[in-house]
Structure 1
């Protein structure tokens, strides 16, 4: 890790653009550091560094899976691609399945996973499979980004295994990922291929070190039959431009009410999780259809609510485009007409 830090510093010193020319997500990124600070990295430098990590990370990315059901709502049962493992669990092919994927420095027991699991199990009988990808737990963000394709491939392999050997329906499958986990979900969709995963929901997909013009290296609208992106910290930790088939911009997508000054954007970034949990349990996020994403950012989409609710399971069949989402500063966050 020390070598990586030194390399980043040398690259930054040699090639960094002048401050006035830096546009986050366009010609480089403000990359998160372990201490919460952000450091600028030009595109060329980032690509050089990532190319050095990728061969290592692809060989050393442990991914594990924990199943939660109504029968074991709080005590996850680890499962793997083995018949006895699945038969010894409460997996039920007749129930819908939800994969949940954490982001950088996360783990499967994080509050995000607990809340999303509880939300879905409160709505009925589901197989909720929480993904734990070990390489994300390093303090080095660049190393975690390099591990995303490998982690996503392993999630995709697990999806294929459950579908092919245990009858899991792809038509009733939803993969939910937060931040870096959204891109892991995207690579899972790429692995399964053919838009066969029904729905992927990206919760403020991470922007640092991911490019708009390289959709094959991030979550994109072709990774599932339907891809929904809920963007809450656009231009900082998350994407500003739309990357889903249906893209939702709570409060305009840059920052969220009730988060105060929110230096670094962590509060707004995490709000995507809280909004999604509430959307699952309450279905109360009214939306306003926008002509384009710039209108959504500027809250210039009018005041007429559409018949679309953010996070609704029916969106796969009726949603395309960009939506402004009015929100409250505290729970309940959703607003309906």
Structure 2
């Protein structure tokens, strides 16, 4: 089935009048879609959207499977996760404690629950005290075909929402204590989770939300600022693998948001894209990323926001109560990346 759908995708592309290379604008009239080998292939926006609409119908009819697993880590089991399911027996047999805040962490394309970003963010939160850290492992992220992974984002988000709703309805989870943290495609999974919870979760943090095959002009099909009471985006490879335009109520642009120091040539953008997860883990544990308030995101990208630090720190818990707008974030080229002690 998957092979057939991929062939159908390229058949659509072949039958359409392609946009000239000189007229291509990534994210505006099409996308450079990443491939497994690190290269990218251009797809016109209208072709991609036709294909995705057809795929959504198949997803909705249940013709494809979207396996999602959840692994709980707490101060009682900080390094060995307990697999949990939406059953009372499973939750009662785990270390889940509704009196403690809960953090869901969602990886991106090609990754799994054992990926380093999950370990780093999990360790950062548990270093701060008692938390339920739930790592989401979604199998369709590991498809070698990026577009196929994209089509699983909505269904995966709904499964995350189902777990949140189950914990709320049966085990005392307070939505005001819930953060959903997602990287790349996982950021949009977090958005769909927020759209489908019974009530609004407190915070979603989008770590360089993926740009290919997502349109800024269709916020209902991606992470957007209304998916939680507060949405923060940390944008590190904007205009390439991630969005450049602001996604969150609070949008942070380390080094201007396009490329990151210490990443060298970074032709594919993968280093800068991944830095969002490294920065966030450090922000949680160290609270050391000072920021400069900008008039708009274009000022942040141009690094023309002045030199006066605001009182806002990227990734801080207090941001939900005081942040609205776009921020430039100076960073170092190696750890510690934050510049404020």
Give the TM-score range, shorter chain: over 0.9
Determine the structure 2 residue equivalent to 1:7.
8
Determine the structure 1 residue equivalent to 2:312.
308
Distance 1:40 1:11 in 2: 13
Are the equivalent residues in 2 in contact too, given 1:250–1:256 (CA < 8 A)?
yes
Determine the structure 1 residue equivalent to 2:50.
48
Residue by residue over 1:56-93, the C-alpha shift from the partner in whole angstroms, topping out at 9 and shown as x without a partner, is 34531111111001111111101111111001000011
Distance 1:248 1:204 in 2: 10
Is 1:156 the equivalent of 2:158? no
Structure 2 matches for 1:133-152, cutoff 5 A? 133-152=138-157
Residue by residue over 1:147-187, the C-alpha shift from the partner in whole angstroms, topping out at 9 and shown as x without a partner, is 10100011011101101110111111110000000000000
Structure 2 matches for 1:1-337, cutoff 5 A? 1-13=2-14, 14-58=16-60, 59=62, 60-192=65-197, 194=199, 196-336=200-340
Shift of 1:193: 5.3
Distance 2:9 2:256 in 1: 33
Are the equivalent residues in 2 in contact too, given 1:57–1:143 (CA < 8 A)?
no
In structure 1, the gaps of 5 or more residues are none
Shift of 1:18: 0.4
Shift of 1:7: 3.3
| Partner-residue secondary structure (3-state), 1:123 | coil
Shift of 1:6: 3.4
Distance 1:165 1:221 in 2: 28
Distance 2:139 2:59 in 1: 11
| Partner-residue secondary structure (3-state), 1:187 | helix
Distance 1:158 1:3 in 2: 32
Q: TM-score, normalised by structure 2?
A: 0.96
Distance 1:79 1:212 in 2: 34
In structure 2, the gaps of 5 or more residues are none
Q: CA RMSD in A?
A: 1.2
Q: TM-score, normalised by structure 1?
A: 0.97
Distance 1:10 1:327 in 2: 44
Are the equivalent residues in 1 in contact too, given 2:207–2:234 (CA < 8 A)?
yes
Distance 1:100 1:132 in 2: 9
Are the equivalent residues in 1 in contact too, given 2:75–2:131 (CA < 8 A)?
yes
Shift of 1:5: 4.0
Distance 1:167 1:5 in 2: 43
Distance 1:70 1:15 in 2: 57
Are the equivalent residues in 2 in contact too, given 1:104–1:141 (CA < 8 A)?
yes
Are the equivalent residues in 2 in contact too, given 1:98–1:129 (CA < 8 A)?
yes
| Partner-residue secondary structure (3-state), 1:74 | strand
| Partner-residue secondary structure (3-state), 1:322 | strand
Are the equivalent residues in 1 in contact too, given 2:105–2:182 (CA < 8 A)?
yes
Residue by residue over 1:264-318, the C-alpha shift from the partner in whole angstroms, topping out at 9 and shown as x without a partner, is 1000000000000000010000000000000000000000000000000000000
Aligned residues: 336
